[in-house]
């Protein structure tokens, strides 16, 4: 690890620990979350679990934990589910931040300003990062919550009232077709550029109706309230990715009941859609009869019925004609 990364890492540790004066025991005494529950919550986040008398929280964090424990709306078992989801996502953000600094930002600084100045800039940059993240990420979070609340109100989706209830959802899977051979021919740099371009296209073309967008290696899963939106998004993504000497995209869509949990969907509908993707060729979108029956006016060609591993029944599939 280079000098500026070492300095920056030390400074980030200092900033992260600044102001932590409240122990888990003190939070419990204030009628807040019991120590054992608080430790379980932090374990869900994937961070160090504090001892009972360890100054591990800022006063603001302590107040938030007390309010969470007093909440009648968010029982503790749901808070644990949310902690696991937040922990995974924030861990990925932190990893990507440090990786981009070490591999892209720092080498540019060294080339442009010299080693010692790059070291100081690195320390300053990370010192500024936390307060910016606090305000900006909180603002982005509020915007996403507002959008999800508006969609929930518009749909009148009472099925979502229980975390164990299956809900109807349209699932779109899409990924880069023949990506392995593309990487073998053109190398890792070309692969990275293609993945970044694909991510930009999905972000731009998925549409505002997408409930969940999940990165899956060199592919994505997007969830929609109805099949037409999933098919239209898949079509836009395929068209936007067409380019000479670049990998194409193939897509699959299915409509069924899935179990929402921790910001994701699970169940046979998800498994079916994922495995259906193998039936789609380059620049093709494959869908099930459940989708075709709900997409009036679409041009579809029957591709017969197939057996999909893990699905007991034969699945009738269709190709979208363009």
Q: What is the pTM assigned to this prediction?
A: 0.71
pLDDT at 113 over 90: no
DSSP 3-state of 16: helix
Locus of tokens 């442009």: 112
Percent of residues, the chain, with pLDDT higher than 90: 40
pLDDT, one tens digit per residue, over 171-198 is 999 999 988 888 888 898 888 889 989 9
From the list 95, 103, 84, 104, the residue with the least C-alpha distance to 43 is 84
Residue 161: the pLDDT is 44
Q: What is the mean pLDDT of the chain?
A: 84
Interior/surface letters 251-286, b for 16+ CB within 10 angstroms, e for the rest: bbbbbbebbbeeeebeebbbbbbbbbbebbeeebbb
Residue 219 forms beta bridges with which residues? 175, 216
pLDDT, one tens digit per residue, over 39-84 is 999 998 988 899 999 999 999 899 999 998 988 888 888 888 888 8
d(C-alpha 303, C-alpha 286), whole Å: 9
DSSP state letter for 73: S
CB atoms within 10 A of CB 157: 14
| All residues at 6 or more sequence positions from 237 whose CB lies less than 8 Å from its CB, including other chains | 174, 201, 202, 205, 206, 249, 251
Q: Which helix (H) or strand (E) holds 23?
A: none
d(C-alpha 54, C-alpha 33), whole Å: 15
Query: What is the domain partition of the chain in residue ranges?
Result: 3-155, 158-320
Per-range mean pLDDT, top range of 119-128, 141-150, 214-223, 281-290 = 281-290
Q: Which residue has the higher pLDDT, 103 or 22?
A: 22
Q: How confident is the model at residue 130 (pLDDT cuts 50, 70, 90)?
A: low
Residue 7: the pLDDT is 64
d(C-alpha 238, C-alpha 231), whole Å: 11
Q: Which CATH architecture has domain 158-320?
A: 2-Layer Sandwich (3.30)
Which residue intervals of 214-318 are DSSP H helices? 227-240, 268-276, 289-292
Q: Which helix (H) or strand (E) holds 221?
A: strand 219-224
Residue 163: the pLDDT is 46
- How far are the Cα atoms of 227, 270, 274, 306, 316 from residue 313, in angstroms, in the given order? 21, 15, 16, 9, 10
Residue 246: the pLDDT is 87
d(C-alpha 221, C-alpha 74), whole Å: 28
Q: How confident is the model at residue 276 (pLDDT cuts 50, 70, 90)?
A: very high
Q: Which helix (H) or strand (E) holds 172?
A: strand 167-176
d(C-alpha 250, C-alpha 282), whole Å: 5
Q: How confident is the model at residue 152 (pLDDT cuts 50, 70, 90)?
A: low
**Mean pLDDT along residues 1-23:** 66
d(C-alpha 315, C-alpha 286), whole Å: 12
Q: How confident is the model at residue 162 (pLDDT cuts 50, 70, 90)?
A: very low
d(C-alpha 283, C-alpha 290), whole Å: 21
Residue 160: the pLDDT is 46
Residue 117: the pLDDT is 66
Q: How confident is the model at residue 321 (pLDDT cuts 50, 70, 90)?
A: very high
Residue 114: the pLDDT is 67
Pairing of strands 167-176, 219-224: antiparallel
pLDDT at 137 over 60: yes
d(C-alpha 190, C-alpha 181), whole Å: 12
């Amino acid at each position: 690890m280079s000098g500026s990364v070492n300095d920056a890492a030390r400074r980030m540790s200092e900033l992260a620990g600044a102001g932590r004066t409240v122990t888990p025991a003190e939070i419990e005494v204030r009628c807040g979350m019991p120590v054992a529950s608080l430790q379980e919550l932090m374990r869900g986040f994937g961070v160090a679990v504090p001892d009972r008398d360890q100054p591990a929280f800022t006063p603001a964090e302590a107040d938030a934990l007390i309010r969470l424990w007093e909440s009648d709306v968010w029982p503790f078992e749901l808070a644990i589910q949310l902690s696991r989801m937040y922990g995974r996502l924030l861990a990925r953000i932190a990893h990507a931040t440090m990786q981009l600094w070490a591999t892209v930002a720092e080498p540019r600084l060294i080339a442009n300003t010299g080693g010692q100045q790059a070291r100081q800039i690195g320390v300053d940059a990370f010192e500024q990062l936390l307060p910016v993240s606090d305000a900006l990420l909180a603002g982005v979070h509020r915007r996403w919550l507002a959008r999800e609340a508006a969609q929930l109100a518009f749909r009148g989706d009472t099925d979502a009232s229980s975390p164990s209830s299956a809900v109807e959802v349209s699932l779109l899977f899409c990924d880069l077709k023949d990506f392995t051979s593309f990487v073998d021919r053109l190398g890792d740099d070309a692969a990275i550029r293609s993945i970044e371009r694909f991510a930009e296209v999905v972000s731009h073309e998925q549409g505002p109706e997408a409930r969940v967008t999940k990165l899956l290696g060199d592919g994505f899963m997007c969830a929609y309230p109805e099949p037409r939106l999933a098919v239209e998004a898949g079509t836009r993504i395929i068209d936007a990715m067409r380019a000479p000497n670049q990998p194409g995209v193939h897509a699959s869509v299915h409509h069924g009941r899935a179990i929402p949990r921790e910001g994701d969907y699970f169940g046979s509908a998800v498994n079916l859609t994922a495995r259906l993707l193998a039936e789609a060729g380059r620049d093709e979108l494959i869908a099930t009869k459940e989708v075709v029956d709900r997409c009036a006016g679409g041009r579809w060609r029957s591709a017969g019925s197939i057996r999909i591993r893990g699905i007991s029944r034969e699945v009738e599939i269709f190709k979208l004609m363009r």
